[in-house]
A and B are shown apart, each in its own frame.
Chain A
Amino acid sequence: MNEFIEKKPGENEATGTFIGGIKDAVPTMIGYISIGIAAGVVGAASNLSVLEVGLLSLMVYAGAAQFIICALLAAGSPPYAIIFTTFIVNLRLFLLNMALAPSFSRYTLFRNIRLGALVTDETFGVASGKLLAKEQISDRWMSGLNIAAYISWVLACMAGAAFEKWIANPQVLGLDFALTAMFVALLVLQIQNGQTGKLKLYLTLVIMVVLSMFVLCAFFPSYIAIILSTVVVATFGVLMDR
């Protein structure tokens, strides 16, 4: 590579190529393989076949929701209740994608739909971390990130379901903590790469979310507490940031 060749925005190796996206997906993949196996074990324990677990992870592709769907199916909940709960649990993705979508508006509608369909908490976190560091991200990079994460999730879920009987309690190894650790890293990345001079504001928001989660979790299921805390505290953020 000749460093004097002028590169178009989003054309650099790190955030311009499909391979670059796959490389940036590695931490997400570690998390997904760990949690995916656990999700597959839970699915099989809820009397789903390997194929059903595969379809669930292929079509829904959302970790927290999949655990809840399995629990509700096992409990014999009515379909409309399961589907409505899934909708509420995944509404959070609407908020995330509202923040991410403007970076891809230069691409075609079809490409946008394809990119949006595979965004998760984690791939969103990786992408918005790049954006905060003022790096241009391209559609190919985002596809690489999305697809690497997607494939590792689906395969891990199916492996978990297939080998359910042989897998010891995944909690023993600490693997179930992988995604929490990932969220910790993504939060730190957001705060470190955020606008300078806003550290105090960000830390105030963090404390407010912690407090509101404690209060709201006493009254609501946790997935509702997550959305409510986020919406309310982000609004305070706008009011305080003058």
Chain B
Amino acid sequence: MSVNLSVFLVIFGCALVTFLPRVLPFILVRNYKMPAALSKWLSFIPVCIFTALIVNSFLVKEGNTVNVDWTVVAAIIPALLAAIYKKNLSLTVIVGIISMAVVRFFA
């Protein structure tokens, strides 16, 4: 149980550059009336970012070619159906974990 000084400094630096983008919007947005176009743009950010994060989970990069990890895609389908029809976050997460385990068992 020890903390190396240079490791600590790296962690501290990383903490700082993570804290700033997290907190700055909460400081900037006060006393600032957002233009309609900007708030519309921001309203599309969640859909885009979540899609990008999902796609990122099934893309595998080998050299300069991008391949699809079909086991992940196969596990996404039951999770997607659970999300659409049950509208329940916890249930979707559990269905996803079980689907991935089942897919890996047979793959």
Contacts and interface: CB of A to CB of B under 8 A. Distances in A.
B8 A69 contact: no
A181 B41 contact: no
The listed residue with most A CB atoms (<10 A of its CB), out of B11, B61, B75, B98, is B11
Contacts of B12: 59
Interface string B26-38: 1111100010010
A151 interface: no
Given A181-B79, A185-B89, A226-B52, A83 B10 contact: yes
A113 B48 contact: no
A116 B22 contact: yes
B88 to A, nearest CB: 8
B79 A116 contact: no
Nearest to A229: B52
A87 B93 contact: no
B1 A50 contact: yes
Nearest to B36: A238
Contacts of B44: 205, 233-234, 237-238
Interface in A71-106: 73, 79, 82-84, 86-87, 90-102, 104-105
B66 A230 contact: no
Nearest to B15: A59
A114 B70 CA distance: 41
A128 interface: yes
Contacts of B82: 185
B69 to A, nearest CB: 11
A167 interface: no
A49 B79 contact: no
B11 A65 contact: no
Contacts of A59: 11-12, 14-15
Nearest to B63: A218
Contact of B101 (A90, A173, A183): A173
Contacts of A206: 47, 51
A242 B83 CA distance: 29
The listed residue with most A CB atoms (<10 A of its CB), out of B2, B55, B65, B100, is B55
A124 B46 CA distance: 9
Contacts of B102: 174
Contacts of B21: 87, 90-91, 93-94, 97
Given A52-B11, A213-B59, 16 more contacts: A73-B7, A82-B14, A90-B21, A93-B18, A94-B25, A102-B39, A117-B19, A180-B57, A181-B100, A186-B50, A187-B54, A190-B50, A217-B66, A218-B65, A222-B59, A241-B40
Interface of A: 26-28, 30-31, 34, 48-52, 55-56, 59-62, 65, 69, 73, 79, 82-84, 86-87, 90-102, 104-105, 109, 112-113, 115-119, 121, 124-126, 128, 171-192, 194, 202, 205-206, 209-210, 213-214, 217-218, 222, 225-226, 229-230, 233-235, 237-238, 241
Closest 8 CB pairs of A and B: A181-B96, A174-B100, A174-B101, A27-B89, A116-B26, A177-B100, A59-B15, A94-B21
